[in-house]
Structure 1
Amino acid sequence: MKKFLVPLCLFLASMAYSQDDLLNSLDSTQVDGKTPVTAFKALQIVTLQSTKMAAKKEFYFVVSHRFGTVKDGFDSFFGLDNATTKLGGIYGVTDWLSVSLSRHTLNKMYETGLKYRLARQDDHFPVDIVGYSVADINSFLEKDQYPGLEFKHRLTYVQQLLISRKFTEKLSFELVPSFIHKNLYNPDIERDNQFSFGGGGRYKITKRLSVNLEYMHNFDKPDFYKNPLSVGLDIETGGHVFQLIFTNSQAMNESGYVTNAAGDWGKGDFFFGFNLYRVF
């Protein structure tokens, strides 16, 4: 535990002493004579991607953590004994295109992604529109369990369209239609192609604090999985955002988060976690 807490404290301290406060400048930059609007300060709402993107040549180092379910109480120290971690990076190739790569301890998942802006909310257009394309590689699968296993069976694909609007200085909202294709699946309980629809919102409480909420409805889920429902807090420090998260899905990749949420809020079965971003 000490090995985890010491680097975390150093990481948070470096965020607090960032040189430039970007909170006000983000919403006032002129592009081609227009004033683009920033609906979200963080790259994620809670677990879902937001329409915010890395700027050209920016690199984000990402650390996400989800502890186990809190329902077991002191038996698992409210989930701390069953934590999962995501480490990754995001690079802005241009102002409208970014690439990402991450590794998740849950299912030993590798994730690659492209995020690309299709339209920008400004003085003349009402919404942000961003595409998000992901390929997941499940390295946890073993041939002993799946004798006919090939590399293609490890792959899952996700395609999402992110449509957001900043309504006021305090309130932003985003819709997220989503399509997920799994090369390996159990036909008795699920389909290879799964559709979901939902979204999330952000309400700013103070200059540096907002509360976020998101929900996705999966049209093809089996009965023992739940639709993901998550709430989070954004804490802005010098232009960077630290996110505290409560969710009924422990997975941090889109395919697992949307289709394999196992927690039940009504039974106190949910997970605590956080997202940390450091931009270079």
Structure 2
Amino acid sequence: MKIHKIIICTLFLFSLQTAMAQDDLLGQLDTKPVKKEAVTATFKALQIANLQSTKLPAKGEFYLLISHRFGDLTEGLQNFFGLDNANTKIGGIYGIADWLSVGLSRHTFQKNYETALKYRLANQLEGGFPVTIVGYNTFDVNTELSKDDYPSLQFSNRLAYSAQLLISRKMSESLSLELAPIFTHKNLYNNVSENANLMLLGFGGRYKLSKRLSLNLEYDTRLNAKEDNPYQNPITLGLDIETGGHIFQLVFSNSQAMNDVTVFNNSTGNGSKGIFFGFNMYRVF
């Protein structure tokens, strides 16, 4: 009789334990995995200053862009601190999808038309993937070239390209950093001082000063430039001012041109000469 009681008690305890284990398993199955949110506001503007940031327009957004780079500040009153001559860029950027945008701009420099494609490959996630990765490609057409200067000029000679991989990380609420391997190609170039293909490594950062102000800095080092070339590594200091639907950027750069291929290849300022003040203004619709 005692044996029967022991067997019945054992079976009861085993059944109870099994039921509790099943409830625990069902509880685990019912628990949904926590979705990791994408990090936002790494950069407020589409550009750090000259260099692109990893920010893209949202789907359906249209950005109107107007940029100026005035003349050389170091010439003083001779050109009224650069105000006597300026390069202008006007263009638009449209968000086809949250991860994809296209852009078109026209530059007074070389009467250049620049098209751009920007696409997100990965997002920095809260407690997950550590960086945001964005691809950026430009395609330039120099319409200033004339057959009077180049009798054998062909359309392909007008073309130049860039390919950039933008890798950013929001380090804190105040600090964001970016690393950018860059490749540029020119179909027409000065064989003495330039390479058809140029490799660069770009660095950029944003430090938030207040809710609507941030200080930006970028520097691009040319990895295979010719030793006797007259050009400098691009460097730019900027200040972001956010005013509702506008992002206004004040810029000091050693490049007066604003199309990417020329910025990366042909920046002329060396610190004592060739400092160009200007601005980028974005209006979103």
Task: Give yes or no for TM over 0.5.
Answer: yes
Long gaps (5+) in structure 2:
1-33
| Separation in structure 2 between the aligned mates of residue 126 and residue 220 of structure 1, nearest angstrom | 30
1:153 equivalent among 152, 157, 171: 157
For 1:81 and 1:221, locate their aligned partners in 2 and report how far apart those are by CA, in whole Å: 32
Structure 1's unaligned 5+ residue stretches are: 1-31
CA offset at residue 239 of structure 1? 5.0
Give the aligned partner of residue 93 of structure 1: 96
Q: Does 1:262 align with 2:264?
A: no
The aligned counterpart of 1:191 is 195
Given that 1:173 and 1:202 are in contact with CA atoms closer than 8 Å, whether structure 2 keeps it comes out as: yes
* Matched residue, 2:139: 135
Please say if residues 190 and 220 of structure 1, whose CA atoms lie closer than 8 Å, have aligned partners that are also in contact. Answer: no
Give 1:113 shift: 0.7
Rounded to whole Å, the distance in 2 between the matches of 1:99 and 1:246 is 26
The one-character-per-residue Cα deviations of 1:12-50 (angstroms, maximum 9, x if unpaired) are xxxxxxxxxxxxxxxxxxxx9332113101000011100
Residues 50-106 of structure 1 show CA distances to partners (whole Å, capped at 9, x for unaligned) of: 000010010000000000101110110000111010000000000000000000001
TM-score (norm 2): 0.85
Corresponding residue of 2:8: none
Match of 2:37 among 21, 35, 38: 35
Q: Give the distance between the partners of 1:188 and 1:256, measured in 2 at CA.
A: 17
**Map of 1:243 onto structure 2:** 249
Distance in 1 (alpha carbons) for counterparts of 2:36 and 2:237: 33
SS at match of 1:206: coil
* Pairing 1:82–2:79 present: no
Q: Say whether the 8 Å CA contact 2:193–2:230 is kept in structure 1.
A: no
Distance 1:264 1:82 in 2: 19
Between the two proteins, the alignment pairs up a number of residues equal to 248
Task: Tell me how far 1:248 sits from its aligned partner.
Answer: 0.5
Provide the TM-score with structure 1 as the length reference. Answer: 0.86
Would the aligned equivalents of 2:245 and 2:283 in 1 still touch at CA under 8 Å? no
Instruction: Choose which of 246, 270, 278 in structure 2 pairs with 1:273.
Output: 278
Q: Partners of 1:33 and 1:240 in 2: how far apart?
A: 32
Sequence identity of aligned pairs in percent? Answer: 60
- 1:159-198 → structure 2 map (5 Å cutoff): 159-198=163-202
Q: Distance in 1 between matches of 2:242 and 2:37?
A: 22
Distance 1:96 1:198 in 2: 22
Q: Do the aligned partners of 1:54 and 1:98 also contact (CA within 8 Å) in 2?
A: yes
> How far apart are 1:186 and its partner, in Å?
1.8
1:185 Cα offset (Å): 1.1
3-state SS, counterpart of residue 93 of structure 1: strand
The aligned amino acid for 1:35 is: E
Report the Cα distance in structure 2 between the residues aligned to 1:140 and 1:220, rounded to whole angstroms.
Answer: 28
Higher Rg? 2
Contact 2:199 2:224 in 1 (8 A): yes
Letter in structure 1 aligned against 2:89 = K
Instruction: Look up the match of 1:212.
Output: 216
In 2, Cα distance between equivalents of 1:213 and 1:108: 28
| Residue identity matched to 2:54 | T
Query: Equivalents in 1 of 2:192, 2:251: separation in Å?
Result: 33
Aligned to 2:48: 45
Letter in 1 for 2:46: L
